[in-house]
Amino acid sequence: MKVLVDTSIWSLALRRKESAYDPLVRELEELIREFRVHIIGPVRQEILSGIRSKEQFENLKKHFRSFPDMELHEADYECAAEFFNIARKKGIQGSNTDFLICAAANRYGMTIFTNDKDFTLFQKCLPVKLHRSRLR
């Protein structure tokens, strides 16, 4: 099954050398080797935002081009807004990008790989499935 990887996992993987031993990072590496990793444009934007040096930004941008953006449609944005409203009625908060990840993963039939606890809450009221690391 294809996996939509959230910014939180990418951020963990891009940290200093100590993250190389993290089981979540090892799982991401395994998913990449299996050609199962997908990304959406807003996640790419979050990853690249805040990079201080131009050289590091260009290098990271080049590496992330290995992961083409999944195509999003207006229905995905509408679904994300609907998911936001459903969650809010249940007292659950999240970012616009989080709900767009949920909408895209739902439409494409993918799991979401994240360590953001909000997604566990989203599962209580939205049709999302989380990827469970095999290496934990």
Which tokens belong to 106?
A: 């739902």
pLDDT digits (tens, 9 = 90+) for 86-117: 999 999 999 999 999 999 999 999 999 999 99
Report yes or no on 72 lying in a domain: yes
Q: Is the pLDDT of residue 43 over 90?
A: yes
Q: Considering the chain, what is the average pLDDT of its residues?
A: 94
Count structural domains, the chain: 1
The reported pLDDT for the residue numbered 7 is 96
Report yes or no on 27 lying in a domain: yes
pTM: 0.93
The DSSP symbol for 83 reads H
CATH, residue 79 = 3.40.50.1010
Parent domain of 93: 3-122
Report yes or no on 35 lying in a domain: yes
Res. 32 pLDDT band, cuts 50 70 90: very high
Q: Measured between alpha carbons, how far is residue 79 from residues 19, 44, 105, 134 in Å?
A: 34, 20, 11, 30
The reported pLDDT for the residue numbered 18 is 66
The reported pLDDT for the residue numbered 50 is 82
